[in-house]
Structure 1
Amino acid sequence: MSRFISDKRKVVCLIIIVCIVFLSLLGILFVGRTTAGHTACIYSNGRLIKTVELDSESEQTFTVYSDDGGYNVIKVSGGAISVSDADCPDKICVKTAPVSDGIQPIVCMPHKLVIRVEARRGEYRYDS
């Protein structure tokens, strides 16, 4: 009977160790996906006016002026890019959450501003 309990404990310990190793590898896989190498492309009126490298260490804020005299204040921080201020009437671009991947762009229709994040070459892109 005691041998059976000992064998059962070994199996349980082995299962726990395998689960820990699996979860560790899974964590490394997801944590390893950073925004390093991602580039934010800023377009005004359909023209590329600036590219910004998104890495977690850099922080910068700059202003983009549109052809109609309006402005958008763009903030890069923590590997993401966002519009922190604008003089457009609806401020949808300001309300948009910071973007760090290529899923959703930031758009300011009144100023014809589009910010897209592009992944480095060879990296997995979303398929829908």
Structure 2
Amino acid sequence: MAGLAVAATPAQASSCKRGGGVYLCEYGVTSYKLPNGTKQEFVVGTDRAVWTRWTDSDGDWSGWMSMGGRAWSPARAYDYETSDPWSFRVFYYDETGEYWGRNRDHDGNWSSWIRYELPLNG
């Protein structure tokens, strides 16, 4: 998670620490619970990228991984238009108010960041 703390924090933002990484406090931490009880967390790093980590079946946390992006809002997660309980979307708004999302599929693979015209749900 070295890249999470490398960039300078904006003057108006303070940074917080969690699980060995640093993120922008003002955007908080978003947690998403998967059907098997494991969790995935999302934060906006000081580089404004979305970062994630997750638990395994024993409850141990992974290291932080950058998902990229350029967030100017909290990174949020929700179930989008799918019946698969393992699939969800993480999204943020950029500095111009554009809505960006990445979709997770059943197997844990992520799409690229996609700019949407409007939030489709949530």
One fold, TM greater than 0.5? no
Structure 1-normalised TM-score?
0.30
- Greater relative contact order (CA < 8 Å, ≥ 6 in sequence): 1
Q: Which has the higher helix share?
A: 1
Structure 2-normalised TM-score?
0.31
